[in-house]
Structure 1
């Protein structure tokens, strides 16, 4: 399956830390902030979970003298959540303690883990104020979860959601997902703590730009977050307009399962990649400031 790597490397910063850091520093030099994801999830034994923990700690040691703040995106299934929640918590706290002033953010996974991920975030946020969370707009429950995170002033990254979920718990129609995304984004932007709007959808971004102008929301109070290698034209446009733009940067040896899983989970993921490449080639729509 090595034949897929030339395709995957457009969206992955490297197979190892050394290569990834070169790409991360280049992004920083160009004015972008970064969220770093060490690829891997669904570990099957404690040793694998501890290796994932150690990879994040090695990353943090490597950037000790780096002047830019970073987000670390952790998948709790990678940290051992499905093996032993206590083991997962121990591994996560080791990463948070090593992170210092950098943010650690629990990535969201399939709905079978949603409640456990949110519970651990709420449990650990009080002693670790640099902890944040990701929520998915296509889940019916997310409106309530966003309200909780705003109340606790936990930093939220809002995304549409990439996993295939049934209709009884998730919106299936893209227009319904967009409407819910905006419904959630508005209170996050007005009342949340340093939220990130994570989308490449120009329709959503256009509405967000109009909303922040109308509400006079300061650019330094939120972020736009976009995927590494996806819609680089859109990334630059937002950065040039004076907004904080954070790039989600995955790296690691598990690039193949990551790529195959993302493409296999939902047909929309394949269409998204193809559409993004075409849109970047054709250029931006009328976004404005």
Structure 2
């Protein structure tokens, strides 16, 4: 109840207060700040994926602006020789307004990345977007087989079926590439597992399916109870380290991240930035009120 109360009132609090919490998990507002954060991670042997904050736009003019912003981001990051790729949220480009225009916007971004032999990750959003985002991924994968991947969410009951149904896209050297995460959006029980143990079990089923079928997984988690079993699956299937990577959020569990790196595994960090950091932070709190306690801790502890 306390967490939900904090989460509900946070959007009405001064942004400077919210920033006390948010600045640990967001690289900044500008491209320059995101490049600086990415360079520091690269020095540690960590790759990045770049995300310009924002989603669920209201008109297609915003979608065009967001597309142009991403093209500038790619130019800037490639010029600075950042070891990383890019993540995009389809709703940021008009998915819920006009699917075809969204496709054209995202296609332009994927094409730009492909010119640099780079890669775009299509983020998965709430359940109302899943079918549309799989459709978008299918279209782009057909044209840019080595330059586009998708996020799948272990807490959705449909995810294993979705992964299996997309096996037709696995052709020759064009391997499927998924970021496997738990999922954060609030969904009804008929669509999503609610119990911690069920979500973790489904996560590991999905990961094992990927290893069995030569799919590249981004193992996106901060949960030690998933990381150790993931190590076991890597050993079981003798997966070479160029065929998977671990992924974590910027600023989250740095000690655990270092442990994974020290064991010789590849690591990629999701680096969000942009002027919509306030909206991003408050939306995430509404979706996951348990994060509210982290805000209270952040006021009194730095580490």
Shared fold per TM-score greater than 0.5: yes
Partner of 2:86: 72
- Structure 2 spans left out of the alignment, 5+ residues: 1-13, 171-175
Give the SS at the match of 2:93. Answer: coil
State the Cα distance separating 1:266 from its structure 2 match: 2.5
CA distance in structure 1 between the partners assigned to 2:218 and 2:296 by the alignment: 24
Change (3 A) 1:238 1:76: same
Deviating more after overlay: 62-71 vs 23-32:
62-71
CA distance in structure 2 between the partners assigned to 1:149 and 1:249 by the alignment: 28
- Structure 1 spans left out of the alignment, 5+ residues: 282-289
1:58 to 64, 72, 80: 72
1:109 to 88, 102, 125: 125
Partner of 2:15: 2
Give the SS at the match of 1:51. Answer: helix
CA distance in structure 2 between the partners assigned to 1:44 and 1:162 by the alignment: 22
Write out aligned runs for 1:205-224 (5 A): 205-224=227-246
RMSD of aligned C-alpha atoms? 2.1
Partner of 1:163: 185
Cα distance per residue 1:89-140 (max 9 Å; x no partner): 1110111111121111110111011110011101221101211000100001
1:152 to 148, 169, 191: 169
TM-score (norm 2): 0.87
Structure number with higher helix proportion: 2
Tell me, yes or no, if the aligned pair for 1:190 and 1:217 is still in contact at 8 Å: no
> Does residue 127 of the first structure (1) align with residue 143 of the second (2)?
yes
Partner of 1:286: none
Tell me, yes or no, if the aligned pair for 1:150 and 1:188 is still in contact at 8 Å: no
> Does residue 245 of the first structure (1) align with residue 267 of the second (2)?
yes
Tell me, yes or no, if the aligned pair for 2:250 and 2:269 is still in contact at 8 Å: yes
Partner of 1:21: 35
Residue correspondences, number: 280
Change (3 A) 1:92 1:59: same
Partner of 1:285: none
CA distance in structure 1 between the partners assigned to 2:152 and 2:162 by the alignment: 8
Tell me, yes or no, if the aligned pair for 2:21 and 2:295 is still in contact at 8 Å: no
CA distance in structure 2 between the partners assigned to 1:97 and 1:13 by the alignment: 26
Higher relative CO (Cα under 8 Å, sequence separation at least 6) belongs to 2
Tell me, yes or no, if the aligned pair for 1:149 and 1:156 is still in contact at 8 Å: no
TM-score (norm 1): 0.91
Deviating more after overlay: 46-55 vs 224-233:
46-55
CA distance in structure 1 between the partners assigned to 2:86 and 2:40 by the alignment: 17
Write out aligned runs for 1:168-187 (5 A): 168-187=190-209
CA distance in structure 1 between the partners assigned to 2:108 and 2:25 by the alignment: 28
Tell me, yes or no, if the aligned pair for 2:211 and 2:237 is still in contact at 8 Å: no
